[in-house]
Structure 1
């Protein structure tokens, strides 16, 4: 069963564009815009790479489970990736490589399947 979308894709793409435009202008995106952009890109990741072996967390806005493999039902998942919202958006659109973010301490990743490098980006910045 494909993951359920909570964010309308059109609204999500608009929020992503607005958030990136704010960042490019040196401003902080509005919280609601940032939240919608994060949720949209996480949902896009879950649609493209369904599964339950990796939990991707972008607090305080959302978390999704992705990647085929062992699924967890309670407690800590077998693999966890966590980052802040602005780093996630840069990863999601390909402005930042996963390995660079991880090496720079901007992403915390643990577990056997926690390398998302081959799964990113999930959308282009202008979409």
Structure 2
């Protein structure tokens, strides 16, 4: 049976994406390549690919509109949700939903990465 090993994010500007995802704990090498990878704490690989590279590989590539994917980062505590949201927005990235206590039992917040992908931050209450 196949197992999920990695996912890729197509980026207009890899340097901006590296800065954003570094704030969320992913340790990417220095930006500048067309493709870079980081491994999350849980072993999942996150790959960032320049839009130009994807267009070379896939001649039929069409940039999606709207929010075609969402990511969720588990934080260790509700306080970490608040601190991470503050750190990301103070670094100049756009917040969508400020931290709140959700009825389903989690502290929850949402920010946008540089390419407009929604990124949720959550922790159990």
Higher helix share: 1
Query: Normalization by structure 2: what TM-score?
Result: 0.25
Higher-strand-fraction structure? 2
- For the pair shown, the structure with the greater C-alpha radius of gyration is 2
TM-score under structure 1 length normalisation: 0.25
